[in-house]
């Protein structure tokens, strides 16, 4: 009988201890809220009355009962709904609203930064994989259906930040735009696998018809660093209904830049000097005749190697003589054979 009473007593003690521990834990969880409530109430008009009622402070928070918590809650609701009842309450409310606005602005700013970062990555992906504008527009149309990307642009030109002005200049009878050699070489030397200090360049040009229905045509000036990537790059492009009227105007910017690179080289990363050498200038017969301002390959004095005069035979010009005076560089520059030049 005594053993049964002891077990019953131990169960009561354990149950009471568990209840006390649970109450203490709840009070500890409520302590930050109670501190805030007490701070507000102490600055209110009813602070003396509340102090006289000996409502618990943070130092004796473990002695708070449920009635006192309800009292705190009711007073908190009362004073939080009347922000103008005291100056400090209004200030606290303003600070709370200000903090909320700052937090909201911070979240909006972070969201904008994430959106911009994703747009930059998407634009880089489109450029790296050479996606057409039609393809990019289709991707943007699909992506904008999601609420997270509703701020994305509708057009590829906005995403890729395509310049509204292309920087073209008039060149009779069309237009010309110059991209340059140095810009491409700087991009090449930004790659980590390029450790050479020498660039060997090839330059070429040729005419390309755009459509069959019109006379519109391109005359691109291409370059290639044959000791680096060997991938051609665009130096400049002419577009018009006919080839450029003046070959010197067409090649002037390219020749000026090339001359400066050959004489002065250029700097990479502000501390590495890279020497530039011209390997060759490549062109087919019509393009070669155009850039050298000489007679075309069907002319009587069209041979670049010698001063032979051709003969007309069966609707074509032929060269029958073998041993003829050789055309030298000095003769070419002095234009000793005027029939060869235009």
- The per-residue pLDDT for range 130-178, each reduced to its tens digit, is 899 999 999 999 988 888 888 889 999 999 988 887 788 899 999 999 9
If you average pLDDT over residues 233-261, what whole number do you get?
A: 93
Element containing residue 233 per DSSP (H, E):
strand 233-240
If you average pLDDT over residues 119-126, what whole number do you get?
A: 88
Q: What integer pLDDT is reported at residue 98 of this predicted model?
A: 52
If you average pLDDT over residues 209-234, what whole number do you get?
A: 90
Structure tokens at 222: 């291409």
Q: What integer pLDDT is reported at residue 202 of this predicted model?
A: 95
User: For the whole model, what pTM was predicted?
Assistant: 0.57
Residue 38 backbone zone (phi > 0: left; psi -120 to 50: alpha; other: beta) = alpha
CB 210 within 8 A of CB 217: yes
Is the predicted pLDDT of residue 43 greater than 70, yes or no?
A: no
Q: What integer pLDDT is reported at residue 250 of this predicted model?
A: 94
Q: What integer pLDDT is reported at residue 150 of this predicted model?
A: 83
| Helices 2-42 + 66-80 axis angle, to 10 | 20
Domain ranges of the chain: 2-80, 87-159, 169-283, 294-342
Q: What integer pLDDT is reported at residue 100 of this predicted model?
A: 52
CB 56 within 8 A of CB 63: yes
If you average pLDDT over residues 239-246, what whole number do you get?
A: 92
SS3 for 19-85, per residue?
A: HHHHHHHHHHHHHHHHHHHHHHHHCCCCHHHHHHCCCCCHHHHHHCCHHHHHHHHHHHHHHHCCCCC
pLDDT band of residue 229 (cuts 50, 70, 90) is confident
pLDDT band of residue 61 (cuts 50, 70, 90) is very low
pLDDT in tens, 91-115: 455 555 555 555 555 555 555 666 6
| C-alpha distance from residue 228 to each of 72, 125, 161, 191, 236 (Å) | 78, 24, 30, 11, 20
For 213, list phi and psi in degrees, rounded to 5: -85, -15
pLDDT in tens, 186-203: 888 877 677 778 899 999
How wide is the angle at C-alpha 135 spanned by C-alphas 134 and 140, nearest 5°?
Answer: 100
């Amino acid at each position: 009988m005594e053993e049964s009473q002891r077990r019953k007593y131990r169960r009561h003690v354990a149950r009471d201890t568990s209840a006390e521990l649970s109450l203490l834990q709840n009070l500890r969880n409520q302590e930050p809220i109670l501190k805030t409530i007490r701070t507000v109430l102490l600055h209110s008009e009813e602070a003396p009355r509340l102090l006289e009622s000996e409502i618990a402070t943070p130092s004796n928070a473990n002695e708070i009962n449920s009635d006192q918590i309800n009292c705190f809650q009711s007073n908190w609701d009362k004073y939080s709904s009347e922000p103008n009842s005291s100056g400090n309450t209004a200030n606290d409310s303003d600070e709370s609203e200000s903090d909320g606005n700052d937090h909201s602005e911070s979240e909006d700013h972070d969201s904008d930064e994430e959106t911009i970062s994703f747009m930059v990555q998407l634009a880089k992906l489109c450029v790296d994989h050479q996606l057409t504008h039609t393809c990019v527009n289709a991707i943007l149309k699909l992506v904008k259906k999601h609420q997270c990307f509703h701020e994305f642009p509708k057009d590829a030109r906005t995403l890729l930040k395509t310049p509204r002005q292309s920087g073209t200049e008039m060149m009779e009878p069309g237009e010309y735009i110059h991209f340059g050699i140095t810009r491409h070489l700087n991009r090449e030397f930004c790659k980590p696998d390029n450790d050479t200090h020498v660039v060997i360049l090839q330059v070429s040009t040729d005419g390309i018809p755009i459509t069959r229905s019109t006379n519109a045509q391109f005359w691109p000036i291409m370059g290639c660093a044959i000791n680096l990537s060997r991938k051609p790059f665009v130096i400049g492009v002419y577009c018009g209904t006919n080839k450029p009227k003046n070959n010197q105007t067409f090649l002037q910017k390219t020749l000026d830049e090339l001359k400066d690179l050959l004489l002065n080289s250029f700097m990479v990363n502000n501390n590495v000097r890279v020497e530039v050498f011209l390997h060759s200038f490549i062109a087919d017969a019509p393009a070669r005749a155009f850039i050298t301002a000489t007679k075309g390959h069907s002319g009587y004095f069209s041979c670049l190697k010698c001063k032979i005069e051709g003969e007309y035979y069966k609707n074509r010009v032929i060269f029958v003589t073998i041993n003829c005076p050789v055309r030298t560089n000095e003769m070419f520059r002095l234009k000793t054979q005027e029939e060869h030049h235009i």
